[in-house]
Structure 1
Amino acid sequence: MEDDLVLVLSALEKEATKPPWKLSFPHVLVATIVSFLFGYHLGVVNEPLESISTDLGFVGNSMAEGLVVSICLAGAFVGSLISGRIADEFGRCRALQLSALPMLLGASICATSKSLVGMLLGRLLVGTGLGVGPPVASLYVTEISPAHLRGTYGSMIQIGSGLGLMGALLIGFPVKTIFGWWRICFWISTIPAAILALSMVFCVESPYWLYKQGRNIEAEAELEKLLGSTHAKAAMAELSKLEKGGEITSVKLVELLYGRHSRVVFLGSTLFALQQLSGINAVFYFSSSVFRRAGVSSNLASVFVGIANLIGCAVALLLMDKIGRKVLLICSFFSMGMSMALQVLAANLSVSSPNVFYLYLTGMLLFVLMFAIGAGPVPALLLTEIFPNRIRAKAMAFCMSVHWVLNFMVGLMFLQLLDQVGPQWVYSMFCACCFLAVVVVKQNVMETKGKSLQEIEIALLPRD
């Protein structure tokens, strides 16, 4: 009985000595604006696309309409390639400010465009900002978060994306009744971009980046702002245990692919690849057609999918620092596989069967829900935890480029595959990728819950 009391008192004492969340939360909240803009710009053209094509003179041109949607992904790929260099050269705060500039300029060009060329140029610029912003935001949130809150704060990024998608949907509703409303949709996006650029002036810089630059006094000062003076010195002592020598030497691509840290870079790329090959973007891009066949409006379809996504994000927020990243990933990918299996079953039933729509609906919403609980938020958080400080920014940029390439390919090839091999085989491939992800995670991913970034790096440091 006395031993139990000692354990309880020890746990309470440990809880009481944790850094207060109020110090770091405002900085995390500002960084989350990036993910809101990410979700908003991916969804902003969905509802207004018909009005845009009519006003700009390319109505009925499916190629042009597809370019308006997908050129943003091309810009994001380019942005992701340079995000690591920008984050390492200028710091995380300045990199987030720089990511806001093309989103501001691009949205303004879209809002004032008089031709297809102007719209494409604006969307390309916006995509470049989207490619830079999210990986840097993941880095920043991971590096400024106390260990016991890092998972919770990381989940806020996914919530921001979900809110952005929902915001784009709701703001786009009047587009068919108010002439030129689509221009307002783009102008509205400049507001959070401007807030991001201005607010980052008052946010702390990443102590890890400052330490990497040899600016130890500044790093300790920022740690005090984030953790309080009581914890800053201990955190600084932990920082000193990290590997040296990375302050001056530039990290090259060949080092990421074949160097001593190539294993964790390969794991990170694989996780992002399996995330996209699970079929999540096929569900996001084409879910409305399933609802329309059942006589349900596409707006309502998007609302259902958006609500499922937000509920999943909220669950992830609550569970990330309780049951851990690895468990969430395994449960998420396994449940996504089962959800996709329901859609395979629905695809094999007769279209006239009354159960087909309900199977599609159940499978789709459960798939989105379980994606948002684990496979959506965990990879970006986990990778910024397991990548060593020296290569973190550039390794994250490389893995995000894999994400954008596969995102584009799934969106481009999904409808063609449906026509050539049928939905049963397409959904079966997605299902197989989900179950493959379960095996990959179980065998290769370490649990990082509650560990400091220094502890994780030391544990994963290759032994020469």
Structure 2
Amino acid sequence: MLSIATLPPPHAATPYYSSSIFVDSGFEETSALGASLGFGVNNSLFAIPAVYTIDTFGRRNLLLTNFPLMALFLLLTGFSFFIPLETHRTARVACIALAIYLFGIMYSPGEGPVPFMYFAEAYPLYVRAYGMSLAPATLWFFNFVLSITWLSLLAALTSQGGFGLYVAWNIIGSVLVLLFLPETNGLSLEELD
């Protein structure tokens, strides 16, 4: 259970490199900054439903719903890079922007806040303080690793391959959640122990 909560986030490159991803898709630099701002606003706005859904639907159900949908939208993003930029710029830009925004809509109420809820609930009381410091540190370490390797990943695998790799991580995350992550919603601290 603890290893699932500290999986590296399979989305790390999107928020950190959204401007360069939008430029690669065909946006002008100024428009890419605006689209990146839109991604950030989108990410913030759709985090609000998490306040209501995390206890209503449960942590596990949110992850089981959001991981496959995030994979789908990352797949759409990757495949959209196959649209020829020279002849279909508008279609390519629109498909990539739409897919990234839809990815953000899925990420914000699910994969964004749920690990932090698991961090707070997963550890027994006698090691909770250590776990609550170790789990986010591990998450941010892998976030750092993924963010510094994105440009190398693009050079080695192209945009399609980079997003395809993140699709694979989302699918792996779905399977791991399905097999190993219990629902903690509505359980008391004693039941969680």
TM-score, normalised relative to structure 1: 0.39
**Cα deviation, residue 298, structure 1:** 4.2
Alignment of 1:283 with 2:19, yes or no, is: no
State the SS of the aligned residue for 1:375: coil
User: Structure 1 stretches of 5 or more lacking a match?
Assistant: 1-263, 458-464
State the SS of the aligned residue for 1:449: coil
Matched with 1:267 is: 4
Distance 2:160 2:78 in 1: 5
**Cα deviation, residue 387, structure 1:** 0.9
Matched with 1:294 is: 27
Matched with 1:367 is: 103
Q: Is the 8 A contact 2:78 2:163 kept in 1?
A: yes
**Cα deviation, residue 400, structure 1:** 2.2
State the SS of the aligned residue for 1:348: coil
State the SS of the aligned residue for 1:374: coil
Q: 1:267 to 1:287 in 2, by over 3 A?
A: closer
Distance 1:429 1:396 in 2: 29
Q: Summarize the alignment of residues 235-274 of structure 1 with structure 2, pairs less than 5 Å apart.
A: 264-269=1-6, 272-273=7-8
Matched with 2:40 is: 306
Q: Report the residue type matching 1:348 in the other structure.
A: F
Distance 1:420 1:447 in 2: 38
State the SS of the aligned residue for 2:73: helix
Q: Report the residue type matching 2:66 in the other structure.
A: S
Q: Is the 8 A contact 2:2 2:122 kept in 1?
A: no
Distance 2:174 2:188 in 1: 25
Matched with 2:59 is: 325
Distance 2:93 2:135 in 1: 36
State the SS of the aligned residue for 1:422: helix
**Cα deviation, residue 437, structure 1:** 0.7
Distance 1:305 1:431 in 2: 19
Residues 224-245 of structure 1, C-alpha deviations (whole Å, 9 max, x = no match):
xxxxxxxxxxxxxxxxxxxxxx
Matched with 1:172 is: none
State the SS of the aligned residue for 1:448: coil
Distance 1:423 1:290 in 2: 8
Distance 2:132 2:171 in 1: 24
Matched with 1:400 is: 136
State the SS of the aligned residue for 2:46: helix
Q: 1:430 to 1:302 in 2, by over 3 A?
A: same
Distance 2:32 2:77 in 1: 19
Q: How many residues align?
A: 188
User: Structure 2 stretches of 5 or more lacking a match?
Assistant: none
Q: Summarize the alignment of residues 19-98 of structure 1 with structure 2, pairs less than 5 Å apart.
A: none
Q: Report the residue type matching 2:165 in the other structure.
A: M
Q: 1:302 to 1:349 in 2, by over 3 A?
A: closer
Distance 2:183 2:47 in 1: 20
Alignment of 1:434 with 2:167, yes or no, is: no
Q: Is the 8 A contact 2:74 2:103 kept in 1?
A: yes
Q: Report the residue type matching 2:80 in the other structure.
A: A
Q: Report the residue type matching 1:436 in the other structure.
A: I
Alignment of 1:446 with 2:175, yes or no, is: no
Distance 1:361 1:402 in 2: 30
State the SS of the aligned residue for 1:390: helix
The one of 68, 78, 84 aligned to 1:334: 68
Q: Is the 8 A contact 2:35 2:97 kept in 1?
A: no
Residues 62-118 of structure 1, C-alpha deviations (whole Å, 9 max, x = no match):
xxxxxxxxxxxxxxxxxxxxxxxxxxxxxxxxxxxxxxxxxxxxxxxxxxxxxxxxx
Q: Report the residue type matching 1:294 in the other structure.
A: F
The one of 157, 162, 166 aligned to 1:421: 157
Distance 1:298 1:267 in 2: 34
Matched with 1:154 is: none
Residues 2-44 of structure 1, C-alpha deviations (whole Å, 9 max, x = no match):
xxxxxxxxxxxxxxxxxxxxxxxxxxxxxxxxxxxxxxxxxxx
Q: Is the 8 A contact 2:50 2:110 kept in 1?
A: yes
TM-score, normalised relative to structure 2: 0.89
Q: Percent identity?
A: 26
Q: 1:403 to 1:365 in 2, by over 3 A?
A: same
Q: Larger relative contact order (C-alpha < 8 A, sep ≥ 6)?
A: 2
Q: Tell me which structure has the larger Cα radius of gyration.
A: 1
**Cα deviation, residue 314, structure 1:** 1.1
Q: Summarize the alignment of residues 152-163 of structure 1 with structure 2, pairs less than 5 Å apart.
A: none
